[in-house]
Structure 1
Amino acid sequence: MKNLLSLSVLAMFIGILSSCNMGNSKDTKLQNPTAKVSNEKQMTPDEAKAKTMADLQEAFKGETTASAKYAAYSQKAEQDGFHNIALLFKAASTAEKVHANNHKSVMVEYGVAIPEFAPEFTVKSTAANLQDAIDGESYEIATMYPDFLKDAGNSKSQLAQITFNYALEVEKKHQIMYKNALAALDNNSVNELPQVYYICPTCGNTYDQTPPERCGISMTSSEKFLKINSL
């Protein structure tokens, strides 16, 4: 009982000190003339919507370019004798096309002009192509899609949020697959890489083994998945 009472008193004492410190902390913040105040201008609803529409166009161009680039990287890997890496690039190219088509569908729904352009990229060695793919996916994961999702949230553009989120979640998987492929290339174990991939036609989700009954992202039935096991 004595120990319990001592603990209770100690708890009360700590609580009093915490309250005092919190009060002092608040006073310090109020009295601190150097406290930073955000000068970020809040966008109007129209500005937020315009930003999201521009994001959709940029995302469409990025995914269209990625699809074409990975298809070319697939051919290069096959020429270099890395068949399993060629299959990975083909699977990723297929998934990126799904993303591009999703972005396009949302733009059509919102009445946004579809960009007309010719994808530009350079095909290098398979190792360099894998590193380029890793860098591209890393940028989309860390910067591009998080920023686009924030913009879509500000503009309350639900369809844009869905298509951006689909792409973001799939790119996370692609990044890992590319890193594994580059490591296998460095370790001369390319033949141990997966030889079959399954692509969700709704979100581009990519599986390198037998998929579950439904896509883990869009819940699409795996019966509709695209199977990639040849070039």
Structure 2
Amino acid sequence: MRPPPRSDDVDPATRTNLTNAMKGEALAHVTYRAYAKQADRENLPEVAALYRRTAHTELREHFTEQAKLIGLVGDNVANLRDSTGGETYEATTMYKNFAAQARADGDRQAARLFSEIADDEAAHRTRFLQATKAVTDPSSGTVVPTDVKANPVAIRAGGPQVSSSRTLDNLRTAMKGEAFAYAKYTLYGDKARETGQPRLARLFHRTAAVERTEHFAEEANLAGAVRDTPANLCATIKGETHEGRQMYPDYARQASAAGDTATAKVLDDTAKDELKHAKAFSGELSRLGKQCPTSS
């Protein structure tokens, strides 16, 4: 058996495609967990269980396999520096810009939320900087902070709560960012735990919980990301079918053409998984006696 490719052996275009795929897998993971909660509320345990199983696959198989191909997880210091950079961008640039645009568009609730999350991300950055000092200079007496507490927000089914298409687009962009941060921090926390850094593992895992159960959830409510279960199933089937028939096969062909044969095999296998997911969700929709609306 050939060893897996080193991350620096992957073609830049393949790396870009893998990163895009990982963002989609991360978003699917957190969204499917929200869809499972909605299925629970509608007393649909089989649908809820399918969503939870699939969410696990998206993070612990697809995202994790793709992360290994590009060397996403480094040593603890590299992971902290990556996290600090991401939080700095969100705190000082992305969320501030989104808040200003929401205010200009009259979406005051979204503007307040974006501003609040910017403050949270600044606090995360401060903790990551402190953790970096603790890890790189143990003699300093600095300890890795673990005082991060998630205050989970329930995601309600309903339509968008904003009036501007720009704000809605920004909410969706932010949701993808929070989902990706959640997935990364989960793996970074796992790495810290595996390398004998339990406090750092708690910092990463607790921060991940904030990104998913607070930030993503609050944005999802304003964006109307969750509907009733039949509508959620239709959105899921559409997404999984697109990934299985188009996105992953395209990425696999591009990887093969670039000589990234091991990566192409992973992408081909993922395409097959996504089509299996689409079939399973279609079965649940049929069992409910529902159909997805046809495109005109």
What's the TM-score, normalizing by structure 1? 0.50
Q: Which amino acid aligns with 2:215?
A: H
Distance 2:206 2:122 in 1: 13
Inter-partner Cα distance in structure 2 for 1:159 and 1:65: 25
Query: For 1:169-208, what aligned pairs fall within 5 Å after superposition?
Result: 169-172=209-212, 173-183=214-224
Distance 1:163 1:103 in 2: 8
Structure 2: runs of 5 or more not aligned: 1-73, 138-164, 226-296
Matched, 1:54 2:75: no
Alignment partner, residue 166 of structure 1: 206
Structure with bigger helix share is 2
CA contact (8 A) 1:99 1:163 kept: no
Cα distance in 1, alignment partners of residues 223 and 108 from structure 2: 13
Within 5 Å, give how 1:1-231 maps onto structure 2: 51-68=75-92, 69-111=94-136, 125-141=166-182, 143-172=183-212, 173-183=214-224
Q: Secondary structure at the match of 2:186?
A: helix
Shift, 1:77, TM fit = 0.4
Q: Name the CA distance, whole Å, in 2 between partners of 1:163 and 1:79.
A: 36
User: Root-mean-square deviation (CA), in Å?
Assistant: 2.1
SS in 2 for 1:134: helix
- The amino acid of 1:55's aligned partner reads N
Contact (CA 8 Å) 2:77, 2:136: kept in 1 or not? no
User: What number of residue pairs does the alignment pair up?
Assistant: 124
Partner Cα distance (1:161, 1:63) in 2? 17
Q: In the aligned structure 1, how far is the partner of 2:108 from the partner of 2:128? A: 30
CA distance in 2 between partners of 1:183 and 1:151 (Å): 34
| Structure 2 residue identity aligned to 1:183 | G
**In the alignment, is the contact (CA less than 8 A) between 1:103 and 1:160 conserved in 2?**
no
Q: Which has the larger radius of gyration?
A: 1
Which runs of at least 4 in structure 1 moved beyond 3 Å after TM superposition? none
The C-alpha deviation readout for 1:136-183, integer Å capped at 9, x for no partner, is 111122x20111011101111233213212211111111110011112
Percent identity between the two aligned chains: 23
Q: Is the 8 A contact 1:56 1:160 kept in 2?
A: no
Distance in 1, matches of 2:112 and 2:132, equals 30
Q: CA deviation at 1:109?
A: 1.4
**Whole-Å separation in 2 of the counterparts to 1:171 and 1:144:** 11
1:179-231 CA-to-partner distances (Å, cap 9, x unmatched) read 111129xxxxxxxxxxxxxxxxxxxxxxxxxxxxxxxxxxxxxxxxxxxxxxx
Deviation at 1:63, TM superposition (A): 1.0
Q: Any gaps of 5 or more consecutive residues in structure 1?
A: 1-49, 113-123, 185-231
Report the residue type matching 1:162 in the other structure: R
Kept in 2: contact 1:70–1:92 (CA 8 A): yes
Calculate the TM-score normalised by the size of structure 2.
Answer: 0.40
